[in-house]
Amino acid sequence: MEDVIVQIASAVNMRSLYPAQHPHVVRSIGSAITSLGTMLEARGTDSATILIVGDDLVVGEQVVRKTNLAQRNFTQILKRSGIERLTLASGIDAEEAHAFVSALAAGATPQSSPHIILGHIHVGIEDTDVEEKDQTLVTDQLDAVRDAFARFRIERRLPLTLMEQIVWSFIDSMGRSTRDVLPLARLKEHDEYTFVHSINVCLLVLAQARSFGIQGGMLHAMGMAALLHDVGKLMVPLTVLNKAGKLMDEEWEVMKSHCEEGAWYLSGIEGVAPLSIVVAYEHHLRFDGEPCYPIPSTRRLPNLATRMTSIADAYDAMSTVRPYQQPRMRAGAAEVLTARAGTFYDPVLVGNFVRLVG
C-alpha cells in the first residue's frame, strides 16, 4: 500500500505541473493503477480503504505511525480536498484515475466513481468548539526584527531568539488557519526589501513543509532557515542591492557572494542550527546540478529545505516590486517555476507549490 500512496501523490504533483495528457501525467497515473492492481492481487482482495483521522493515516485498521514524506504529502492532499475516507477498488480505468487525480491537483473534491469511493468518517471523541482566532501576526515582534535588519549594516547583529519566537508564532497561526498560506507581508520601501522578502519566504516554506506533514522542531528549523536564507544580502552595499539597471561584472560578483557571506556569518553565531547555514549557502544552487552559484567543491543535490526555499525565494522575488522590475502576476510567477521544474527547481515540489498558491 505504501507504493500505491507514493504513486498517487506523485501523479497529483505531476498533474499540478502539466496538462492531463502530458506524458509525465499519463505515465504516473498508469504507474499508480498498476501499483494498485499488484497490491490488491497480493492481498487477495478487490479493494483497499484509507482513512484520514486528524493528521493520522489509517490503512485498513492499522495507523501508519512511521510515515515518509510522500505519505505525509498524500495525507495533506486528501485533507485539502475534504476527503476522510478513500476506497480504491480493482478495475479502475485511466479515465476514472485522471478525473480523480485532476480534481486533487486542483484542490477540489473529486466525485465518487464506480471504483473510487469517497466519504467522511465519524470518530467517537469529544469535539471542542473553538473559535478561530484572529490571524494578525505579532506586530511588536515584527517591528523589532524589521529594525534589526535596518541596523544590521552597522551592528552586524540579529535578534535570533526573537526570530525563533516569530517562526513559532507563524506556525501557531498557520495551524489555526483554514487557509494554507497566510497573507504575505507588504513592502513599504525598497530599503526594507530583504526583511519583507525573508518574512514572505519563511511563510511560503512553512506552508510547503506543512503540506508534506512536517511538524514540530523540524518545521521550525525549516522556517528559521528560510527566514535567514538571505542574511548575506545585508552585507551587500545598497547601491548594488537596489540598483535600477543591470549589474556590471564586479557588482554581480558582489551580489553572488551573499550566499557564502551569509553562511560564514551564521556559522560564527553560537546556537544557529546547521540547517540555516546550509540553506543560506545552497539556496541558489540548481536542482539538476548544473553550474549556478556558489560553485561547491563537489556536485550536490540541494537539501530538501533548500529546494523549498529556492522555490519560495524565486516566487516572492517575481511577485514583488523591485527597483529594477515590475512584479509579475502570481499566475505568471507560477508559470516560470513550472517552466523551470526539473532544471532549476525540484519538479515534485514545484507541482505541490503551484497547487498551494493556485
Q: Where are the domains of the chain?
A: 2-119, 139-357
Q: Which phi and psi (to 5°) does residue 85 adopt? A: -135, 130
Asked if residue 213 lies in contact with residue 75, where contact means CB atoms within 8 angstroms, the answer is yes
Asked if residue 150 lies in contact with residue 192, where contact means CB atoms within 8 angstroms, the answer is yes
Asked if residue 1 lies in contact with residue 59, where contact means CB atoms within 8 angstroms, the answer is yes
What pLDDT does residue 61 have?
A: 67
What pLDDT does residue 328 have?
A: 66
Under-50 pLDDT residues of the chain? 124-135, 178-180, 182-183, 190
Cα 153 from Cα 12, distance rounded (Å)? 45
Give the CA radius of gyration of the chain: 22
Q: Which of 227, 77, 211 is nearest to 161 (CA)?
A: 227
- pTM comes to 0.73
For 159, the 3-state DSSP assignment is coil
Q: Which helix (H) or strand (E) holds 249?
A: helix 249-256
For 297, the 3-state DSSP assignment is coil
Q: How many CB atoms lie within 10 A of CB 269?
A: 14
What pLDDT does residue 241 have?
A: 83
What pLDDT does residue 132 have?
A: 41
Cα 5 from Cα 71, distance rounded (Å)? 6
How long a stretch of residues is the chain?
A: 358
Q: Which helix (H) or strand (E) holds 9?
A: helix 2-17
Provide the 8-state DSSP code for 20: T
Cα 242 from Cα 205, distance rounded (Å)? 25
What pLDDT does residue 285 have?
A: 96
Specify the CATH number of the domain 139-357.
Answer: 1.10.3210.10
Cα 174 from Cα 169, distance rounded (Å)? 8
Cα 321 from Cα 78, distance rounded (Å)? 35
**Residue bearing cell 514545484:** 350
- Identify whether 294 is preceded by a cis peptide bond (ω within 30 of 0): yes
Question: How large is the angle between the packed helices 330-339 and 304-319, nearest 10 degrees?
Answer: 140
Cα 197 from Cα 224, distance rounded (Å)? 14
CA dihedral 186, 310, 226, 69 (to 10 degrees): 120
